[in-house]
Amino acid sequence: MSTEEKRKLGAALTQLSPEDLSKALEIVAENNPSFQATAQEVDLDIDAQSEYTLWRLKVFVKEVLKVEGNHGSNNAAANNSNDDNKKNNSKRRREICDALAKTAVKRTKKLANL
């Protein structure tokens, strides 16, 4: 998976609901026994994941976002409820996004030093 695809995957992960984000982290944990998917704060190094795990995540995220897109346009009341959930869980998403960005910066610095 290319660096650009990994970046897009990381961005897509931040769009998931808390429940779907937990499922995505469980996918990572299946192939990484030392990964703590249920921890309060998660540091996910996308570059350290196997191709298999990355592709599973990509397929999962794509399906979830496609389903949410179809349902989201049909039900305004559900959207309001989802907005409240998103606000309540924005801190966790921001932390995951920051961790992904930090990892990308570290990787870029390593490549620049080579």
pLDDT, tens digit, for every residue of 75-96?
555 555 556 666 556 667 667 7
pLDDT of residue 108: 54
For residue 19, pLDDT beyond 70: yes
CA distance 96 to 55: 19
Mean pLDDT (whole number) for 28-49: 80
CA distance 95 to 20: 16
Tell me which of 93 and 1 has the higher pLDDT: 1
pLDDT, tens digit, for every residue of 48-75?
889 999 999 999 999 998 887 766 555 5
Q: How far apart are the first and last CA of the chain?
A: 21
Global pTM exceeds 0.85 = no
Return the beta strands (E) in the chain as ranges: none
